Amino acid sequence: MTHIIFDLLHILDEAGIDQPVAGNVISERLGISRTAVWKYVNLLREVGYVIDASAKTGYTLRKRTWLLLPYEVKRYLKTKVIGQEMHHFEQVPSTNALARQMMHEVGDEVQPGTVLIAEQQTGGLGRMNRVWMSPEGGIWATIVVMPKLHVDQIFLITMAASISLARAIRHEFELSALIQWPNDVFIGDKKVAGTTLELAADEDIIKYCLVGIGVDVNVSVEKVMPNLSRLVTSLSDELGHDVDRAQLFSVFLKEFERRYQMMLKGESEPLFREWRSLSRTLHRRVRVRTIRESFEGEALDVDERGALIIHKDNGEIERVIAGDCYLI
Amino acid sequence: MTHIIFDLLHILDEAGIDQPVAGNVISERLGISRTAVWKYVNLLREVGYVIDASAKTGYTLRKRTWLLLPYEVKRYLKTKVIGQEMHHFEQVPSTNALARQMMHEVGDEVQPGTVLIAEQQTGGLGRMNRVWMSPEGGIWATIVVMPKLHVDQIFLITMAASISLARAIRHEFELSALIQWPNDVFIGDKKVAGTTLELAADEDIIKYCLVGIGVDVNVSVEKVMPNLSRLVTSLSDELGHDVDRAQLFSVFLKEFERRYQMMLKGESEPLFREWRSLSRTLHRRVRVRTIRESFEGEALDVDERGALIIHKDNGEIERVIAGDCYLI
C-alpha cells in the first residue's frame, strides 16, 4: 500500500460513506489516469474496502476494511511520537523478529516510536519464548522505543504497556481488565492480552526496546484455540460482537505514549500507583513458580525493579524477579 | 505493487541472483530512506521473492516470486501492444468480469491490449457459462482487444488465441498440444487450456473483445479437481515438475500478437491453415451435441465463420456453429 492509494482513500473518505465521487474528479486530483484510479480502487477492494462503482456517479465507499492498516489506525491516532511511522504486514513470523531485523539492518534510520503491525504471526512468542497463538483478528504489533534509560528501569516500560492495554480495553468497552504480574491482561479468570519486551543496550544504557503487544480482539477462542478456552478469552467473545481494532489500537498507543513520557520524565510513582490499582495479583494468595522453586503465599507489592514481593506461607519475604504467578 | 517496488526489484535484478546490493546504494538510487527500502524489501518478500539481508553486504535476491506479476511477465515480453499494460490481482471472481467492469467504468481510457491477470478466480466461467476451476498455479487472464472488424469475423480471434496457446505450450515444453474445436487445447485425451470470448459491438462493428485465457500450468489435477482427472491435465502433471508461468505467458502473448496482427491485415487464410494443422477434431469421427440435437459423423473442416462442417452418418453435411464435439 502506497501513498497514492491512501490519497485515493482519503478522497473517498472526505466525501463520506455512501457518497459517490466521480472518477474523473479523483483522476484529476491525483494526477493519474482513470484506468489507474480503477486499478487502485480494485486494490483497495482486495484489502477489504467495499467500494461501489457506477459509470454515472463514480466511486462510493460503502464499508471500510477489516485489516489493521496504518491508514485506519491513523484516522483515530492522537499521538506525537508513538505510531507516527507504521509498517503493516499480512503475515510474518513475528513482529518482534521483524523489528529486530529492521534495527539490525537500518537501525540508525528508524524513527523512535515506529510500529510494526501484522495481521497474523506464524511464529509469535510470548514471555519466556512461549508459543503465542496469533490468529487473524487480533492485534499483533511491536513498538520500537529508544529511551535513554538505565537497563534497571526496563520494567517501567512493561508496566506502561500493560497499564495502557488494560486502560484502553476499559475505556473502549467498559470491560474490567486487570493486570496479572508481570505483563498479562485478564478479563475475569482469562487472559486477553499480553506484552513482551526485548532490549538492546550499550553497557547498561538502553539502545532500544521492542515492546511486543498481543491482544485477542476479534478472535473466537473456541474456534481458533479450543484447547485454551479455559485460560484465554477475546474481546469479541466477551462482548458477543466484533469491534474496531483500529480504534482500540489508536487509543492504546495514546495511553502508552502518555505513560512512556511520564517514565522518561522520571515520574515513576504515578505509574506504580496506577499499576497497583489495576493489579489482579496484589493482596491475593498466589502460587509462584520460578526456574528454581515453587511456593505459595500472599502477593504484597512490586518493588522499584518490578519484582513481586511475596509473603511466603513459611513467614519469609521473597522477591520474585522472573517467574509465573497464579491466583489460588 | 507500485513503480517504486519494481524499481527496487530492477536494481536487485541488475546485480543478478545471489549478488548483494548495499542498502544505501538502493536508497540513493531510489531517493527513499533506508527504512523505506527495508519496508519495500519486506513487501517483495510477502509476494514471494526470497531476499537475504545483511548489515554488511546489503540485500541479495536469492529467488524470484511464484506469482504471475506483470514485472515477471515483462522480463520476457517481446510484444508491441498486447500486454504492454497489465494489471495483476490476487483473487477475483473472474478476470473477464473484472475486464467487463473496467470497460464499463473507464473504457474510453483503456489501452488496447491491456491484460488482467488473477492468481485465482473464485467464479471463473468457461464457454457457455460453464464453471471453470481456476486454482492457484494456473494462468487466468483476460486480454482486451479492440479490432475494428465485423462481428462475423469474431471466430478468428478465438482461433488466434487457441493456436497461440497450443504453439506456446509446444514451443516451451515440446508437448503435443492440439486444438479441439472450437476453443480448447488438449494434450493427449485431456484438456489443458481453453479460451473464451466476450464481445461488445456497435451495430455489427466490434467495439472491444475480451479474450479469456485459462491454462492449468502448475496445478495438481489429482489434488485440486480429482473428479476431473480423467478429462483434465496440467502442464506440471504432464512434465512432472512446475514450470515458469511468466515465461510461458509472455511467449503466448507474443504468439497471440503476431496472429492478431495477421487477422487485422485480413490474412485469415494462414490462420485457418495453422488451425487445421493443429486440430485434434478434423478428419476424426465425432459426436456433436448442440442445443437442439445430437449426432455422429466425420469432422471435415471449419468454414470462414468458424463453424464445424460434419459429414453426418446419414450422408448429410451439417454446419455446427455452437455446440460440443467429442472424439469417438
DSSP string, A92-147: ES-HHHHHHHHHHHHGGGPPTT-EEEEEEESS-B-GGG-B--B-TTSEEEEEEE--
Banded model confidence at residue A129, pLDDT cuts 50, 70, 90:
low
Same domain, B297 and B154: no
Whole-angstrom distance, CA of residue B200 vs CA of residue B213: 18
3-state DSSP call for residue A312? strand
Under an 8 A CB cutoff, do B4 and A4 touch? no
Same domain, B33 and B111: no
Residues of A in contact with B105 (CB under 8 A): 23, 34, 38, 53-55
What is the least distance, in Å, from the CA of B321 to any CA of chain A? 35
> Strand order in B285-289's β-sheet?
B317-320, B308-312, B294-302, B285-289, B324-327
* Side chain identity at residue A317, one-letter code: I
Last residue of a domain, which of B63, B82, B108?
B63
pLDDT of residue B238: 97
Distances (CA, A) of B22 to B46, B53, B61, B250: 21, 9, 12, 31
The answer to whether the CB of A191 falls within 8 A of the CB of A232 is: yes
Cα nearest neighbour of B93 on chain A: A46
pLDDT of residue A131: 74
Q: Give the burial string for A47-64 (b: 16+ CB within 10 Å, else e).
A: bebebebeeeebbbbeeb
Same domain, B77 and B59: no
Beta bridge partners of B131: B125
| Alpha helices (H) along chain B | 3-15, 23-30, 34-46, 70-76, 95-106, 155-173, 221-224, 235-239, 245-264, 268-277
B35 CB neighbour count, 10 Å cutoff: 21
Comparing CB atoms, the residue among B39, B91, B110 nearest residue A87 is B39
The vertex-B31 CA angle with B28 and B34, nearest 5°, equals: 65
pLDDT of residue A124: 74
Comparing CB atoms, the residue among B42, B91, B102 nearest residue A38 is B102
Residues of B in contact with A89 (CB under 8 A): 42, 46
Residue showing cell 486454482:
B135
The per-residue pLDDT string of chain B (328 residues; one tens digit each, 9 = 90 and over) reads: 567 888 999 999 999 999 999 999 999 999 999 999 999 999 899 889 999 998 889 999 999 999 999 999 999 999 999 999 999 998 888 999 999 999 988 888 999 999 999 999 988 777 666 777 888 999 999 999 999 888 888 889 999 999 999 999 999 999 999 999 888 999 999 999 999 999 998 888 899 999 999 999 999 999 988 888 999 999 999 999 999 999 999 999 999 999 999 999 999 999 999 999 999 988 899 998 888 888 999 999 988 888 889 999 888 998 888 888 888 8
pLDDT of residue B129: 67
Last residue of a domain, which of A63, A95, A114?
A63
Under an 8 A CB cutoff, do B106 and A23 touch? yes
Q: What is the mean pLDDT of residues A207-232?
A: 93
Under an 8 A CB cutoff, do B55 and A98 touch? no
Residues of B in contact with A101 (CB under 8 A): 53
Distances (CA, A) of A324 to A197, A210, A311: 16, 21, 16
- How many interchain CB pairs under 8 A, A with B? 61
Under an 8 A CB cutoff, do B91 and A39 touch? no
Under an 8 A CB cutoff, do B105 and A53 touch? yes
Same domain, B17 and B77: no
pLDDT digits (tens, 9 = 90+) for A4-56: 888 999 999 999 999 999 999 999 999 999 999 999 999 899 889 999 998 88
Residue A97 CA, distance from chain mean position? 15
Under an 8 A CB cutoff, do A111 and B55 touch? no
Residue A127 pLDDT greater than 80, yes or no? no
pLDDT of residue A122: 87
Beta-strand pair A285-289/A205-215: unpaired
Note down the domain range covering A297: 285-327
Same domain, A26 and A125: no
Cα nearest neighbour of B4 on chain A: A2
pLDDT of residue B131: 74
The phi-psi region of residue A315 (left if phi > 0; otherwise alpha if psi is between -120 and 50; otherwise beta) is left
Angle, nearest 10°, between helix axes A23-30 and A3-15?
130
Cα nearest neighbour of A114 on chain B: B35
Same domain, A310 and A189: no
Under an 8 A CB cutoff, do A109 and B42 touch? no
Under an 8 A CB cutoff, do B46 and A109 touch? no
Last residue of a domain, which of A63, A86, A113?
A63
Angle, nearest 10°, between helix axes B155-173 and B268-277?
50
Residues of B in contact with A102 (CB under 8 A): 35, 38
Same domain, A261 and A312: no
Residue A118 pLDDT greater than 80, yes or no? yes
DSSP state for residue A87 in the 8-state scheme: E
Question: Following DSSP, what letter does each residue of A151-206 receive, concatenated?
Answer: GGGHHHHHHHHHHHHHHHHHHHH---EEEETTTEEEETTEEEEEEEEEEEEETTEE
Same domain, B54 and B191: no
Same domain, B205 and B89: yes
Residues 90-119 of A with CB under 8 A from B: 90-91, 98, 101-102, 104-106, 109-111, 114
Same domain, A122 and A262: yes
pLDDT of residue B125: 75
Domain CATH number, residue B37 = 1.10.10.10
What is the domain count for chain B? 3
What average pLDDT does chain A have? 92
Residues of B in contact with A117 (CB under 8 A): none
Whole-angstrom distance, CA of residue A20 vs CA of residue A42: 16
Same domain, A305 and A166: no
Phi, psi dihedrals of residue A135, rounded to the nearest 5°: -80, 170
pLDDT digits (tens, 9 = 90+) for A137-182: 999 999 999 998 888 888 899 999 999 999 999 999 999 999 998 8
Q: Which of B42, B106, B114, B115 to mutate to test the interface with A (most CBs of A within 10 A)?
A: B106
Whole-angstrom distance, CA of residue A112 vs CA of residue B142: 46
pLDDT of residue A134: 87
Comparing CB atoms, the residue among B38, B91, B105 nearest residue A102 is B38
Environment class of B313 (CB within 10 Å of its CB; exposed 0-12, middle 13-18, buried 19+): exposed
Under an 8 A CB cutoff, do A55 and B104 touch? yes
Same domain, A264 and A295: no
Residues of A in contact with B91 (CB under 8 A): 46
Residues of A in contact with B98 (CB under 8 A): 42
Domain CATH number, residue A290 = 2.30.30.100
Residue A43 corresponds to which cell in the numbers above?
A: 486494490
Whole-angstrom distance, CA of residue A63 vs CA of residue A50: 5
Domain CATH number, residue B170 = 3.30.930.10
pLDDT of residue B103: 92
Percent of chain A with pLDDT over 90: 70
A222 touches chain B (CB under 8 A): no
pLDDT of residue B235: 98
